[in-house]
Amino acid sequence: MADAATEVLNPVDAERKIQELSDRIAKGVGVVTAAERDARAKRRAFDLAYAHAYKRAEGSIKEREYSADIQTMDKREECDTAEISFKHAERTAKALEKELQAWQSINSNIRTMYGAVRA
């Protein structure tokens, strides 16, 4: 099998790769939306749990805050994990878009090369 750096590409290969990336980007929209929806739901759950924990706590403002922090740490962790997943989905989508642009450029160069050979 040829090394990717030395592989000779033709317009059909490039178009196939562009179509594959376009399909992945289209599917990725749903992935990013689902991750964002989950992150927001987890944030709301954390905020609500914190508010209830703070309301039930006794003592000074700081003592109530610390108590609420301790009681809701599991919800905060769920929220943080969901936000990280959402950001990862966004970064993946951006990377796919950049890869698509690169392949579009490669395809343009390939078509130019094939045109020069035929002339």
Distances in Å between the Cα of 37 and the Cα atoms of 47, 87, 101 are 15, 12, 28
Residue 111 domain flag: no
Phi, psi of 3 (to 5 degrees): -65, 140
Quote the pLDDT of residue 1.
Answer: 46
The one-digit pLDDT tens for each residue of the chain (119 residues) are 455 566 778 889 999 999 999 999 999 999 999 999 999 999 999 999 999 999 999 999 999 999 999 999 999 999 999 999 999 999 999 999 999 999 999 999 888 888 766 65
Quote the pLDDT of residue 59.
Answer: 97
Q: Minimal CA–CA distance to 75: which of 33, 32, 41? A: 41
Q: Full-prediction pTM beyond 0.95?
A: no
Residue 3 domain flag: no
- Which tokens in the block code for residue 58? 């006794």
Residue 42 domain flag: yes
Residue 14 domain flag: no
- Based on the structure, what is the number of domains in the chain? 1
Domain that holds residue 47: 25-106
Residue 32 domain flag: yes
Residue 80 domain flag: yes
